[in-house]
Amino acid sequence: MLAAALGVPATHSPYVQRIPLPAGDALLRGFAQDSVVVRLLGGAADAAVLPLTGLVGCRRVGCLYATSDVAGVRIGLIPAAVLDSLSRQAVAEAGPVGR
């Protein structure tokens, strides 16, 4: 039922993880086999599409990625401030839910 309310295809899980942001709680949810999207709860538009490969998880500080290749392991962070900014922009551009 939550998946239908958020417009998530039935083949994907309703959400992967909840991310607390200053603009409000956001959900990280499946978008495709290799990606996830960030959307504020109650928002009408996705704020960002992130690759699923290498995603370790998201916390209050942001989303952590780890990838490895012949050169070694690379660790990266998408800061919560960036996700928050993108979320606020998506809400502003989409307008009220049900518009």
Q: Convert the pLDDT of each residue in 37-79 to its tens digit.
A: 888 888 778 888 888 888 888 888 989 999 888 989 999 999 9
Pair type for strands 35-40 and 24-32: antiparallel
Q: What percent of the chain has pLDDT over 70?
A: 80
On whether the CB atoms of residues 55 and 48 are closer than 8 A, the answer is no
| Residue 13, domain member (yes or no) | yes
Query: Given this model, what pLDDT does residue 99 score?
Result: 46
| Residue 99, domain member (yes or no) | no
Q: What is the spatial distance between Cα 62 and Cα 78, in angstroms, rounded to a whole number?
A: 5
How many domains does the chain contain in total? 1
Q: Nearest Cα to 49, choosing from 17, 25, 21, 83?
A: 83
Summarised one tens digit per residue, pLDDT across range 8-25 is 555 555 667 888 888 888
Q: Which domain holds residue 68?
A: 2-94
Q: What percent of the chain has pLDDT over 90?
A: 11
| Residue 88, domain member (yes or no) | yes
